[in-house]
A and B are shown apart, each in its own frame.
Chain A
Amino acid sequence: MNLKNKFKIEPPRLQMTPMIDIFTVILIFFIVSFSVDNTNIELDKNTQLPVLKLDKQELQGIHVQVLAESFRINGKEMDENIESWANELKKNSTAASQGILIEADADIPYQRIDKAISKLGQSGVNDIQFVVEVKGDEYESL
């Protein structure tokens, strides 16, 4: 009789404790990495921003994407005409007053950046900001 009780199989039960442990760890991790600032960087799939050792910063303004074949202002494809650049900047004048954010791939030839800067300068822009990815290690290619 005692032997029969000893081998009595208990119904399977879900182990809650390890699951809650994992949930708690994940929850803490996400809360720490949660960002409430409205930095809205939507990069082109082929764009890998340059990496520099800088402090994290909230970025606001007009996004000027410099791609190998084209330029985009706030996601809108731009032609070579200076007037269309000036009109687009004028249309977003509130955002433009906060800053002009240049986003480009780290390995893009400077010639493309120069062209974008030239168009922005001719459109009346005086200050620009180059968007970079922040990393702890300093990288030098020269």
Chain B
Amino acid sequence: MGLLSDKVKIENEASISLIPMINFFIAIIPVLLIASSFDDYSSLSANLPAKAQTTESPSTTHAQLAVYLHKDEVSLKLIGNNQKSQKTVYKSVQEIESRLQQLPSFRTAIFRASDETTYRQTLEVIQRLKRSPSIEQVVIANKEDL
């Protein structure tokens, strides 16, 4: 009688079966581990000069900003719209950023970098140009375009 009541008591105890849960975890963790991406990527867009743009004379185009990146400095030059050209040289990207805030609106900034600059430096300057509210598009000029 005593044995029977013990047996009934044991069967009535509810318990979570952990083994299927652990099996599930062991299966899903490697899947997620492989499929997870830990690096986030983005992109900076830029335009290449279309043939029509390069054949247009500067006097007929809207005001443009020519940006030339050297190894240790950046020069900005306003061109077109019958304005007198002003070339200013900056030693850091912060200086360019603050200068860009003061400039009038441009349709285009034409960017060119010298051969000895690094890709990292060029992207830092292009990012500042793209961030500026006064510039609509950034065109990257080649040697042939200038």
Contact = CB atoms under 8 A, between A and B. Distances in A.
* Consensus secondary structure, chain B interface: mixed
Interface in B41-64: 41-50
A23 B29 contact: yes
A64 interface: no
The size class of the interface chain B forms with chain A is: 35 or more
B118 to A, nearest CB: 5
A128 B46 contact: yes
A142 B39 contact: no
Nearest to B90: A142
A27 B28 CA distance: 8
Contacts of B114: 110
Interface string A96-127: 00010100111111111110011011000111
Highest count of chain A CB atoms <10 Å: which of B28, B39, B91, B94: B39
A35 B36 contact: yes
B119 A113 contact: yes
A109 B144 contact: no
* Consensus secondary structure, chain A interface: mixed
A117 B123 contact: no
Interface in A55-97: 55-57, 59, 66
A63 B49 CA distance: 20
Nearest to A111: B115
B102 interface: no
B67 interface: no
A56 B119 contact: no
B145 to A, nearest CB: 8
B65 interface: no
B47 to A, nearest CB: 6
Given A19-B22, A107-B119, A142-B74, A39 B37 contact: yes
Interface of B: 18, 21-22, 25, 28-29, 32-33, 35-50, 69, 72, 74, 91-94, 113-127, 140, 142-144
28 contacts: A16-B18, A20-B22, A24-B25, A30-B29, A31-B32, A33-B37, A33-B38, A34-B35, A54-B42, A107-B119, A109-B117, A109-B119, A117-B142, A118-B143, A121-B48, A121-B142, A126-B47, A129-B45, A130-B45, A131-B43, A132-B43, A132-B44, A140-B92, A140-B93, A141-B118, A141-B121, A142-B74, A142-B92
Given A20-B25, A133-B41, 18 more contacts: A20-B18, A20-B21, A30-B32, A30-B36, A41-B39, A50-B119, A54-B42, A57-B41, A109-B119, A110-B114, A110-B116, A110-B119, A111-B115, A118-B144, A126-B48, A129-B44, A130-B43, A134-B42
